Structure 1
Amino acid sequence: MHSVLVVDDERLSVEAIRRTLDDEFEVHVACSADEAMQVLHDRQAATGSDVPVDVILCDQRMPGTTGIQFLKQVRQLWPEIARIVISGHTDAEDIIAGINEAGIYQYVLKPWLPDQLREVVASAAEARRLQHDVRRIELEMRAGTGVLRQRVRARQEQVVLHHEFSRLVRAPGSPLDEVCRMAQKVARHDLPVLIQGESGTGKELLARAIHYSSPRASAAFVQENCAAVPDTLLESELFGHKRGAFTGAYQDHVGLFQRANGGTIFLDEIGDTSPTFQVKLLRVLQEGEVRPVGATQAVAVDVRVIAATHRDLEAEVRAGRFREDLYYRLAGVSLALPPLRERPMDLKLLAETLLRQASEDLSKPCEGFTDEALACLVDYPWPGNIRELRNEIYRALALSDEPVIGASVLSPRVLRGRSGAELNGHGTQPVRLPETGSLQERLDALEAAILKETLLRLRWNKTHAARELGLSRVGLRQKLVRLGLEEK
C-alpha cells in the first residue's frame, strides 16, 4: 500500500483528506511544515527506507513556511517523493514557483472532489514507483554491462545456429547439397546473390543462411516481398519518405535499406517489379545511397542485396520485361533451388521434420506416418513445394485421431498422386501400367492399382468404392482378398 503525508494547518481539511484516502493509502498527517519534516525523519528512521513516503499532499498557505517552500526542502532531501500542492487560490506566481522550484507533480484546487483527489494521488504514487523502477534498471544496466554483452552474444549465436545451412533439411545425395555448398562459399564474400526457384522452395531460408554465415551476421537482416505492394508504397518502404511527401505521410519514415545498413536486405519476387521501379533500384545499387521520397539529400548505405524470384530472369530480360543492367547488378552469383518433385530422397525427412513442428505448434503428439501415408507423400508431385507439404501435414495432424498419420486423412489430390503421375486437364489420372510380367499378372496389377486409388481417395469407404466401380460389396471384398489389399 502506498503511503501519503497530508500537510495542512486546518484540522478539518486534514481529516477530510484522511477519510478520502484512508481506504486505499497509508495516510500520515501534519499541521505544519516543521511537524511534517519531523514525521518524514521519524518514518525514515523507522522504516530504514531512503524514501519515507510515496506522496506528499501539502496546503500552499500555512503559517510560517509555505507549502512551496516546504516542498522545495523535501525535493532536496528526498527527490523521489511525488509532491502535490493543494490551494484555494490560483496565484500564477505560486504555480510557477511550485513547478520550477519545488518540482510539484500536480496543483489541486479547493474545493476538490473525493474521486478526483484519489485519482490524482494514485497517479502520483504510480509515477513515483515507475520512476524508481527506471532508476533501478539504469543502475542494473550500468553495473551489468558485461552480463548484458554476454547475453547479447549468446543470443546472436543462437540465431546464427538456427539459420545455418544444416537447418536446410535434406538427405544424403540431395540436389540441394550442391546449392548449399556454393552458397556457403559465396556467403563469405560481399557479393550480391540472386536465388531462383519455384514458390515454396525455401528461397528465404537460403537467404537467411547466407546472411548468418557472412561477416554481416551481427547486423540486421530485413526482407520485403516486392510483389506484395504497389510501386509507390514499395519505394517508400525500401527508401523511406519525409513527412508531407505525399498524402498520409504524417511523419518521417526510415526505409528498409537504412534499417539494413551494415547488414543484408532480401528482396523477394524481384522479377515482379515494374520497369519504373527497376530504374530507381538500379540507381541505389550503383551509387550506394538512397534518397527518401520527398527528401533533397541522399543517405549513404552499406547493404548486401540478396534477391529472389520464381521467374526465369534471363528470359524476362530477353523479353524486355526486366532491365539487363539491373539483372547483372543483382546476379553477382546465381543459385537455383530445385523443386520438391526433384528431391524425392528428401521428402521423408522433410515430412518428419515438419510433423515435429506441427506437433509442437498444435500441441498434439504424433508418432509419425504409416507406410501408406509416406508412400502417398513421396509419390505426389507437390506443385506448391515445401509450403504445400507443410500445409498438408498440419491439416492431416489436425484431422487425425490416431497416434500415427494414415493415408485416410490426406487430401484427395495427394491420394490421387499415389501412382506418381500428375492430374491431366480433366481432373482424372491415368494409371501406370506394369512393364513386365504375364498378361494375368499385369491385369491383376492394373486392377489392384485402380482399386487402391479408389479406396484411398474415398478414405476406404467400401460402400462408396463398390458403387463407383460398379461392384457389389461382396464382389469388392472378394477382389481385395484375392489381390491381397487391405487397409493399413
Structure 2
Amino acid sequence: MTARLLLVEDERAIRLALSGLLRREGFEVDQVEDGASALRRLAEQAFDLVLTDLALGDGPSGMDVLRAARREQPETPVVMITAHGSEAIAVEAMKLGAEDYVPKPFDNDEIRLVVRRALERTRLARENRWLRERLARELGFESLIGSGPSMRRVFETIQKVAETDLTVLVRGESGTGKELVAHALHERSARRGGPFVAVNCAAISRELVESELFGHEKGAFTGAEARRVGRFEAADGGTIFLDEIGDMAPETQAKVLRVLQERCFERVGGAKPLRVDVRVVAATHRDLERDVRDGRFREDLYYRLRVVEIELPPLRERLEDVPALAARFLAQLAERLGRPPKLLAPDALARLAAYPWPGNVRELRNAVERAAVLASGDALGAADLALPEPGPEPASAAATTLPFAEAKRLATERFERAYLLTALRAHGGNVSRTAEAIGMVRQSLQQKIRELGLREEDWSRPEGPAGGTS
C-alpha cells in the first residue's frame, strides 16, 4: 500500500521540489504551506509520515505541528527540517517525539534515506504492536472460555491475583489449559511488558535441568564452552512458568526453593550470587500432597508454591463449554490458513458434547482442527470428527466421595445441561425447533430448562467474562 505523507513547508520552491522528489519515490504527498493548514489536515486525515519545516513563518510553528501529530496520530512519525545552526531546537524536537531531523541544506539522497528509515521503523513498531495484541488475544485472559461455575471461579481468582506478585500453583489434568492461565496472569499484571518464560520441567533431563534453569559458566562441565544465561535470569522483570514442577528432581527443588525465598541463585560453576525479580507460576497434574507424604516432593517448596491455588476442571466436567471452544479453534485455524471458518453441523455438536474428552481441551483442539483440514464441504458432521467410541467415563476424585445416587444425579445434570445448551445453540435459541429436533415436547423442554437454571444468555453468549482453554 502506498504511504501517504504530509509535507509542511512555507517556501514554495522547496515545497515543490520535495513534493516532486517524494512522488517519484512512489509516495502519495499532501502539501501545505503553513502550520494552521497542517493542524487542520492532521485533525481530518490519517498520514503515514509528516515532514515539516521547523520555521513556518507566522502562525503555528513546526513544533506545534509536531505536538499536534503526537496528539492526533501518535503512531505517525514526524521528521523535522531545520535551518543551519538550529540543531539545539532539533534535539528538543526529538525529545518531544520527533522521529528524525534533516538540517538545511540537504540533498535528495539524505531525504530519501531519512523518510524510508522512519517509515520502516514505524512499520516494524506497528507490526510488533499488532503481534502483541494478537498474542494477548490468543494467550491472555480472553482466550479462556467457560460459562460454568468452576470456570467462573478460575476467572475470578485470576482477576484478583494477577496484579499481585503472589506465587500461583495451577493444578489440573494434562491438556486443561494450565499454561494459558499462566499467560493470563502475566498479561494482566504490571509485568506484562517483561518476558514470559515457560519451562517444561518434565521435558528436561536431570543432568541438564539446573543448567537450563540457572545457567552455567564457561567450563562448568564438559561441553560448557561458553557462559549460558538460564531461564530464571532470562525472566528477570517478568514471569517464569514452571510447568510440571511435580516431576522436578529433589536436588533441583532445593535450588528453586532458594530462589523463591531469597530471589537469588548462582549459575552452575559460578560463585557470584545473581539477584532476579521474577514472578513464579507453577503447574502440575500430580497429587503433590501424596508426593510430599511419600518424600518425592519437598514440603517446604510445596507450601511456598501454594500461596494461591487455581484448579482447572477437566473438560468432561464442563461439557457446556465444548461448542464455544470448538468454534474458537475453528476460527483460529481459519485465520492461520487464510480460509473461511468451517461450521459444526448439529450432529457434530451433539457428538462433541457426548464425548468424555480424556485428553481435555488439547484433544478437542486436535480433533476439530484435523476434521477441518481433512473434511470436504463447509460444515463438519459427526463422521468428520472421527472420534473413538467412548469407554466408561472416569469419575472425578470428588465424585467418588459422594453416595452413588448423588454422583449419578450430578453426572446426569452435567450431561443434560451440556446436551441442551448444544442443541439450543445449534437452533439459534429457538425452543420449538430445538424440541422438535431432539424429540421432546416443547413444554417438557421448557420445564427442563427451568430445572437446570438455564437462561437465554447461556446459549446466546457461550463465552464467560473472559473465557477457559487449552
Q: TM-score, normalised by structure 1?
A: 0.54
Superposed, 1:201-350 pairs within 5 Å as 201-350=176-325
What is the root-mean-square deviation in Å for CA atoms of aligned residues? Answer: 3.2
- 8 Å contact 2:329–2:365 — kept in the other structure? yes
The CA deviation at 1:163 is 3.7
Moved more, 267-276 or 145-154: 145-154
Give the SS at the match of 2:198: strand
The CA deviation at 1:360 is 3.3
Counterpart among 134, 143, 150 of residue 167 in structure 1: 143
Q: Quick one: which amino acid aligns to residue 265 of structure 2? A: V
Percentage of matched positions with identical amino acids? 49
Give the SS at the match of 2:194: coil
- 8 Å contact 2:333–2:341 — kept in the other structure? no
Q: Equivalent residue for 1:84?
A: none
Q: Could you list the per-position Cα deviations for residues 23-82 of structure 1 after superposition, in whole angstroms to 9, with x for gaps in the alignment?
A: xxxxxxxxxxxxxxxxxxxxxxxxxxxxxxxxxxxxxxxxxxxxxxxxxxxxxxxxxxxx
Q: 1:321 to 1:371 in 2, by over 3 A?
A: same
Q: Could you list the per-position Cα deviations for residues 222-274 of structure 1 after superposition, in whole angstroms to 9, with x for gaps in the alignment?
A: 01000001122111111000111111111110111111111100000000111
The CA deviation at 1:394 is 1.6
Superposed, 1:61-80 pairs within 5 Å as none
Q: Equivalent residue for 1:196?
A: 171
Q: 1:352 to 1:334 in 2, by over 3 A?
A: same
Q: Equivalent residue for 2:371?
A: 396
Q: Does 1:380 align with 2:355?
A: yes
Give the SS at the match of 1:334: strand
Give the SS at the match of 2:270: coil
Give the SS at the match of 1:227: helix
- 8 Å contact 1:366–1:405 — kept in the other structure? no
- 8 Å contact 2:264–2:276 — kept in the other structure? yes
Q: 1:281 to 1:137 in 2, by over 3 A?
A: farther
Residues in 2 aligned to 1:204 and 1:422: alpha-carbon distance in whole angstroms: 25
Residues in 1 aligned to 2:114 and 2:251: alpha-carbon distance in whole angstroms: 50
Q: 1:157 to 1:369 in 2, by over 3 A?
A: closer
- 8 Å contact 2:140–2:180 — kept in the other structure? no
- 8 Å contact 2:315–2:361 — kept in the other structure? yes
The CA deviation at 1:348 is 0.7
Query: Is the radius of gyration larger for structure 1 or structure 2?
Result: 1
Q: Could you list the per-position Cα deviations for residues 142-197 of structure 1 after superposition, in whole angstroms to 9, with x for gaps in the alignment?
A: x9999988886776555445443222022x33521111111110111110000000
Q: 1:405 to 1:146 in 2, by over 3 A?
A: closer
Give the SS at the match of 1:194: strand
Q: 1:150 to 1:362 in 2, by over 3 A?
A: closer
Q: 1:283 to 1:366 in 2, by over 3 A?
A: closer
Q: Equivalent residue for 1:8?
A: none
Counterpart among 148, 151, 155 of residue 176 in structure 1: 151
Give the SS at the match of 2:191: coil
The CA deviation at 1:398 is 2.4
Residues in 2 aligned to 1:370 and 1:399: alpha-carbon distance in whole angstroms: 16
Residues in 1 aligned to 2:360 and 2:158: alpha-carbon distance in whole angstroms: 21
Residues in 1 aligned to 2:291 and 2:387: alpha-carbon distance in whole angstroms: 36
Q: 1:137 to 1:390 in 2, by over 3 A?
A: farther
- 8 Å contact 1:239–1:292 — kept in the other structure? yes
Residues in 2 aligned to 1:181 and 1:175: alpha-carbon distance in whole angstroms: 10
Q: 1:361 to 1:157 in 2, by over 3 A?
A: closer
Residues in 2 aligned to 1:156 and 1:406: alpha-carbon distance in whole angstroms: 35
Give the SS at the match of 1:232: coil
Residue ranges of structure 1 left out of the alignment (5+ in a row) = 1-131, 425-482, 484-488
Residues in 1 aligned to 2:127 and 2:366: alpha-carbon distance in whole angstroms: 35
- 8 Å contact 1:366–1:404 — kept in the other structure? no
Q: 1:138 to 1:222 in 2, by over 3 A?
A: farther
The CA deviation at 1:407 is 1.4
Give the SS at the match of 1:302: coil
- 8 Å contact 1:257–1:290 — kept in the other structure? no
Give the SS at the match of 2:240: strand
Give the SS at the match of 2:207: helix
- 8 Å contact 1:267–1:306 — kept in the other structure? yes
Residue ranges of structure 2 left out of the alignment (5+ in a row) = 1-108, 396-438, 440-470
Superposed, 1:339-488 pairs within 5 Å as 339-413=314-388, 416-417=389-390, 421-422=392-393
Residues in 1 aligned to 2:141 and 2:184: alpha-carbon distance in whole angstroms: 6
- 8 Å contact 2:342–2:372 — kept in the other structure? no
The CA deviation at 1:365 is 3.8
Q: Could you list the per-position Cα deviations for residues 269-296 of structure 1 after superposition, in whole angstroms to 9, with x for gaps in the alignment?
A: 0001111111121122222112111111
Q: Quick one: which amino acid aligns to residue 167 of structure 1? A: S
Q: 1:250 to 1:347 in 2, by over 3 A?
A: same
Q: Could you list the per-position Cα deviations for residues 446-466 of structure 1 after superposition, in whole angstroms to 9, with x for gaps in the alignment?
A: xxxxxxxxxxxxxxxxxxxxx
Q: 1:328 to 1:250 in 2, by over 3 A?
A: same
Q: Quick one: which amino acid aligns to residue 384 of structure 1? A: G
- 8 Å contact 1:174–1:345 — kept in the other structure? no
Residues in 1 aligned to 2:123 and 2:348: alpha-carbon distance in whole angstroms: 50
Which structure has more relative contact order (CA 8 Å, sep 6+)? It is 2
Residues in 2 aligned to 1:264 and 1:208: alpha-carbon distance in whole angstroms: 9
- 8 Å contact 2:255–2:265 — kept in the other structure? no
Give the SS at the match of 1:307: strand
